[in-house]
Amino acid sequence: MDIKDLEHEIKQLTVAEIAAKTEKSERYIKTYLTRNGVSCLDYDGEAKKAASIQRLAYEEQRATTQRETSKAEKRSGQTAASAMIANEKESDSLFTTVSALYGLVWFGLTMWGFSANGAAFFLFWLLMSFGFFMASMMTWSSLSDSAEKNRLNRMPSSERDLYTARKDAIRAAQNEILARHSAIDRYGLSNANLVCPHCQTKGSVRSKSAEEITSTKVVPIIGNNIKARKKVTQMHCDNCDTTWNV
């Protein structure tokens, strides 16, 4: 028997009875009742359908909101990235201008100094050149910071926060890369299979080839030592910060 043949008496039947009469599973019956908004004795398909429609509407609204938020974040991100690029260009332009001005002054003083004082001007010229270089760097840094502050003040608060967050993230990534390379240079590469014998942590042990120097005093010749060198493997654990040789 098809379930449509029971439409006139579905409300007086249970799900189990409808399943028995139609030779369908109870899950199929519940799906059919929900899809068509029909209720039976022990299953409210009409309420289930209304809840389903409401849930679908909510999901669609949430998806639309997420898309709009994503677009807004993308636009803000592009604005922040554009601001960073513009700030770098402005800083480079200021650096070029400042360097040109300092270069002209330095060249003029150099020509005058050597023509007037000859070789006696050399030591003072070295100090002057270093001073001009440092002054150029400090002036460029000051002008760059000022340009960035002015640009940030003109930004809306949301774009300013995103700009600052991106800059902090870039700085953190750079520091992490520097720290990683520093650890590799100092202690070597990490081995995922090594276990630290001190803290029992796996995967945090670094190793590299090293040279160990031992000193032995010669008796009875006081004051003379024999130094021996041997190749060892230096181990270091990033977790407990312990270094040892094997």
**According to the model, what pLDDT value does residue 87 have?**
62
Residue, of 142 and 116, whose pLDDT is higher: 116
List, for residues 191-242, the tens digit of each pLDDT value: 888 888 888 888 888 888 887 776 665 555 555 566 667 788 888 888 888 8
Give the lowest-confidence range in 29-43, 104-118, 129-143: 129-143
**According to the model, what pLDDT value does residue 75 have?**
56
**According to the model, what pLDDT value does residue 190 have?**
81
Residue 11, pLDDT > 60, answer yes
Give the lowest-confidence range in 10-19, 46-55, 56-65: 56-65
Across the chain, mean pLDDT equals 78
- The token duo for 226 is 């024999």
Residue 99 CB contacts under 8 Å (≥ 6 apart), including other chains: 136, 140
Going by pLDDT thresholds of 50, 70 and 90, the confidence category of residue 71 is low
**According to the model, what pLDDT value does residue 224 have?**
59
| 242-245, strands of its sheet edge to edge | 189-191, 205-217, 225-237, 242-245
Summarize the confidence of residues 103-124 as an average pLDDT: 85
**According to the model, what pLDDT value does residue 41 have?**
85
What is the 3-class SS of 71-126, one letter each residue?
HHHHHHHHHHHHHHHHHHHHHHHHHHHHHHHHHHHHHHHHHHHHHHHHHHHHHHHH
Query: Are 218 and 224 a contacting pair, CB within 8 Å?
Result: yes
Residue 82, pLDDT > 80, answer no
